[in-house]
Structure 1
Amino acid sequence: MAHAPSRALALRAPASRPALALALGAGLLLAPLPLLAAGSSSSDVSAPKCENGQVWDDKSEKCVDAQDSRLDDDSRYEAVRQYAYAGELDAALVALAAMSDQQDDRVLTYRGFIARKQGDAETANAFYQMALRQNPDNILARSYMGQGYAEAGRMELAQAQLSEIRKRGGRNTWAEVSLRLAIGSGKGFSY
């Protein structure tokens, strides 16, 4: 993985180039993040194809209402992910509300994410806790919860979530790397 060589580069850089070496190291460390944004292994982090909470329907090749019966929850979830990545939180909520199982851990995780991005940490944590009761191995919920803790300066709680992610097989995933960086910077990610 690129993490160790980039740190070694930064540590061995000549005194006249430490800023360049640090920038290169940080760039190599952050490079994989957009590829795995918002908990997906997909490299598709494109802008939403639709607007106002509508969802792209591959069969009809057009945007349809999120409640359209031709859609499956995976299509809706992809739209939620794209809207959230683009910062279109109200549109993400529209698509999220159309999901068939409102107690699904993915739905609860994104409800928490949106609440956190809207500045409501208490509600966000309640949703993350519900998601983790449904699926204790939901490393995305753990990462988002930990990022919220890091943003609030509660590093011991953020670190506890990082440890849980690693124990649950999430080492070197976007969830683990983004939380580790949030702990280091005190700032979470918007996707």
Structure 2
Amino acid sequence: MNNRYLAAGFRNTWLLGACVTLVIAAGQARASGDESTPPKPNCPKGQVWDSKTRKCALQTSQATSDEDRTDYAYRLAKDGRYEEALSLLDTLKNPDTAKALNYRGYATRKLGRTDEGIGYYLKSVALDPNYAQVREYLGEAYVIKGRIDLAQEQLVKIKALCSTTCEEYEDLADAIAAAPQT
């Protein structure tokens, strides 16, 4: 067999292997929950991603929608920029949506203000009882407070909403399992 054909066959095999590896890695990233972080660029401090113009805009711009502000606040919080997330949520025209209250609860809980976070989560649940993510975060806050019984209640409700295979159920179940046993 010609060496040129052997080299081409090796190259094709290597490319196929590389493609398979990328597909597997992408699937693992999705399975680990990376898809929950909004896929938006990381804007400089004081700016927010505007999905309409597809670029960063000043937080003070009235053209950026509450939905974009809310989603970007979550992105900031997931990046550990909790104070910035809260400041951005303060700019919402309507801060009393289930999503905005959930993200406010998340940022305050991550800042160590767990009781305040629980208050926001409970308001979010009141607005949308079928919002699995807020129930997960509420359950995690209860775990922090040592209220495993209340966390278990949220786990049961999440199971009814999206089964035991959704990310929210799995994450809260893991948090409960990792909690110190009393």
**Scaled by the length of structure 1, what TM-score is found?**
0.71
Alignment of 1:41-190 (within 5 A): 44=39, 48-169=41-162, 171-186=164-179
How many residues are matched?
Answer: 154
Q: Which residue of 2 aligns with 1:34?
A: 33
User: SS state of the match for residue 77, structure 1?
Assistant: helix
Return the offset for 1:31: 6.6
User: SS state of the match for residue 55, structure 1?
Assistant: strand
1:100-130: CA deviation from partner (whole Å, max 9, x where unpaired): 2111011111111111111111111111111
Return the offset for 1:29: 9.2
Kindly indicate whether the alpha-carbon contact (under 8 Å) linking 1:139 and 1:170 is maintained by their aligned counterparts in 2. Answer: no
Amino acid at match of 1:104: T
Amino acid at match of 1:147: E
Return the offset for 1:96: 1.3
User: SS state of the match for residue 129, structure 1?
Assistant: helix
Q: How has the CA–CA distance of structure 1 residues 91 and 51 changed in structure 2, closer, same or farther, with 3 Å as cutoff?
A: farther
Counterpart-to-counterpart distance in 2, 1:106 and 1:98: 15
Kindly indicate whether the alpha-carbon contact (under 8 Å) linking 1:53 and 1:92 is maintained by their aligned counterparts in 2. Answer: no
Kindly indicate whether the alpha-carbon contact (under 8 Å) linking 1:77 and 1:96 is maintained by their aligned counterparts in 2. Answer: yes
Give the % identical residues.
Answer: 27
Q: Give the helix-richer structure, 1 or 2.
A: 2
What's the Cα RMSD here? 2.5
Higher relative contact order (CA 8 A, sep 6+): 1
Q: Which moved more, 1:52-61 or 1:78-87?
A: 52-61
Structure 1 runs not aligned, ≥5 long: 1-27
Q: How has the CA–CA distance of structure 1 residues 49 and 141 changed in structure 2, closer, same or farther, with 3 Å as cutoff?
A: same
Kindly indicate whether the alpha-carbon contact (under 8 Å) linking 2:98 and 2:123 is maintained by their aligned counterparts in 1. Answer: yes
1:162-184: CA deviation from partner (whole Å, max 9, x where unpaired): 00111123542221111111111
Give 1 or 2 for the bigger CA radius of gyration.
2
**Scaled by the length of structure 2, what TM-score is found?**
0.74
Counterpart-to-counterpart distance in 2, 1:79 and 1:118: 18
